[in-house]
Amino acid sequence: MKVYNTIVSRRTIRKFQQKPIKLSILKRIVNAGRLAPSTGNLQPLEYVIAVDDTLREKIFPNARWAGYIAPEGNPKNNERPAAYIIILVNKEISFSSFFKYDVGASAENITLAALEEGIGCCWIGSFNRKKIQNILKIPVGYSVDLVLALGYPLEDPEYYDIKKGKPIKYYKDVSGVLHIPKRKLDDIIHIDYF
C-alpha cells in the first residue's frame, strides 16, 4: 500500500478479532515507532509490548474507550485487543515537554506500520497511569504516556466530510457501523495567509 493511501484509510479500531499478533510483527511495528523524529534526537521513549493474556486482562479495565459512544463503543469480551504497546518516557533523558511531539510521531509511525500489516490500532490517552505502571512493573524514572491497543480489526469505521460548524462527535448507526465526521480540507487549509 502507498503511504498516502495507508494514511487516508486509517481509522481508530476498538473491536478486534481474537487472533494473536506475532511478536516479530509487534517488534517490527515498534521499530517503526523508534525511528520517528525525536526532539533534539534525545530519544527518551521506550516501549512495553504486552501480549500475555493475564497482563492484557489487567490492562483492559484501566483504559477508557470511545467517550462519545461509551459504553457501546467499549470492546466486549470477544472483541478485546490482542496486544498493547505502551509508550514510556524516560524522565532522565527528557528535559522538557517536547517529548509529547516524540510520542505523537512514534505513535503515528506505529499505527501506520500496524495498518500495513492489517492490524488496527486505538490510541488511549485516558487511562489509570498509576495502575498501568504497577501492573507492568515500570520503574519510577519513567512516565507512562500512551497506550496503544492493537489487533486485527473486527469493524470497518467510515469517515465523512462535514461542513464548517457541524458537530464532530463520532457515532454508530443502527447497524453498528461507526461514523467519524472530519472537517473538510478546504475549511482547514490556508495558502500563504490566514
* Total residues found in the chain within this entry: 194
| pLDDT, average across residues 50-71 | 93
CATH topology of domain 3-156: NADH Oxidase (3.40.109)
Of the candidates 87, 88, 97, the one whose C-alpha atom is nearest the C-alpha of residue 39 is 97
- Record the pTM: 0.94
Q: In what order do the strands lie in the sheet with 142-151?
A: 45-50, 83-90, 142-151, 120-124
CB 81 within 8 A of CB 151: yes
Mean pLDDT value of segment 93-112: 93
CATH number of 157-194: 2.20.180.10
pLDDT in tens, 22-60: 999 999 999 999 999 999 999 999 999 999 999 999 999
Phi-psi category of 137—alpha, beta or left, where left has phi over 0 and alpha has psi -120 to 50? left
What are the extents of the domains in the chain?
3-156, 157-194
The shares of helix, strand and coil residues in the chain, as percent rounded to the nearest 5, are 35, 25, 40
pLDDT tens-digit series, residues 111-170 = 999 999 999 999 999 999 999 999 999 999 999 999 999 999 999 999 999 999 999 999
Q: How far apart are CA 100 and CA 129, in angstroms?
A: 16
